[in-house]
Amino acid sequence: MKRILSCMQPTNNLHLGNYLGALKNWVHLQDEPDVEECLYGVVDLHAITQPYDKDVLARSTREIAAAYIAGGIDPKRSAIFVQSAIPEHSQLMWLFATMTQMGKLERMTQFKDKAGKNSERAGLGLFSYPVLMAADILVYKATHVPVGDDQKQHLELAREIAGTFNARYGEGFFPLIEPVITGAATRVMSLKDGSQKMSKSAESDNSRINLTDDADVIVKKFRKAKTDSHPVPATLEEMEGRPEARNLLTIYASLADKDMQDVLNEFGGKQFSELKQGLADIAVARLAPITARMSRLLDDVAEIDRVLEQGNEKARVIAASVLAETKHLMGFWK
């Protein structure tokens, strides 16, 4: 049986890429027959590894939780938790830090990107982030972790840490995590540049659809989306080398829950304006209920907190027992 875990950082607002690339899949995983448990975290300890605003951290944490619930994560079946409320994450991280080589962390491409040129000045928190991420996963003995492409290297490291622990202290204790790469079919790219991922940090707000955008804004953003001067491709071959066309078709297929081939049949040879209108319609239809639910929840912070406290409690029971066993295997006094 699978135990699923995944997390998002409470940084900026969520966008369509987070929804289609991650959340939508997380929701489906709840229904799979071979999944025994799903845990979805808001990882606030990760969010402070780079400069952040202390006055919005708690609000952002609740926003992510609201998006999870509004997007379809069912708090009755899945645990929705906050990382900082479960001290076992940090405690396990310390234990893992003693079995992680610095050289491996130095090779992490995300660290290199985020640290920039002056890596001597990067914080220890940013450097050791993948060790905390390994602890996030293994403190629940999660077996399957749905993530985007960019997190594959971190998962590989988490797997190695589990392997090192098992070899030193107890064969088979931690599961060898399997990545579930959810992004592949639904890698959502910028509406302004089909070679860049849709991102919350991109400068132009027109490059992304935020989960808080209203219908008018969604229509406008799709209308302004970059395309090329040919009609919409009608076949997979015609899509080659046309990243903007591919992106719009991918988004449509994902929102409509259709195969790419069906979408190509529907729009192939037509003008992009028709595809954009279709996209705006379906995006509004799919996102409006989520947005509405999210804003209702955000007006009722007590309800979000109730869900989080219940999720924290559920998560903490597992985390506490895994940490206790880990310490026992490592020879601690208690």
**Residue numbers annotated as active site:** 114, 197, 200
The torsion angles phi and psi of 34, rounded to 5 degrees, stand at -95, 15
Q: Is there binding between residue 86 and ligand TRP (CB under 6 A)?
A: no
Q: Exposure pattern of 10-34 as b/e (b: 16+ CB <10 Å)?
A: bbeebbbbbbbbbbbbbbebbeeee
* Nearest position to ligand TRP, beta carbon: 7
User: Which span (2-10, 50-58, 275-283, 290-298) binds ligand TRP, by CB under 6 A?
Assistant: 2-10
Beta-carbon contacts of residue 263 (< 8 Å; ≥ 6 apart): 249, 252, 253, 256
Does residue 44 bind ligand TRP (CB under 6 A)?
A: no
Least Å from the CB of residue 46 to ligand TRP: 5
Among 151, 247, 312, 326, binds ligand TRP (CB under 6 A): 151
Using CB under 6 A as the binding rule, whether residue 145 contacts ligand TRP is answered as yes
If binding is defined by CB under 6 A, does position 93 make contact with ligand TRP?
Answer: no
What is the Cα–Cα distance from 204 to 190, expressed in whole angstroms?
10
Residues 6+ apart with CB under 8 A from 257: none
Between CA 178 and CA 29 the distance in angstroms is 14
Which 3 state secondary structure label does DSSP give 259?
coil
- Lookup: tokens for 286: 């799919």
> Is residue 135 close enough to count as binding ligand TRP by CB under 6 A?
no
Q: Pick between residue 165 and residue 252 the one whose CB is nearest to ligand TRP.
A: 165
Binding mask 104-133 for ligand TRP (x = CB under 6 A): -----------------------------x
Contact residues: ligand TRP, CB under 6 A:
5-7, 9, 43, 46, 133, 136-137, 145, 147, 151, 154
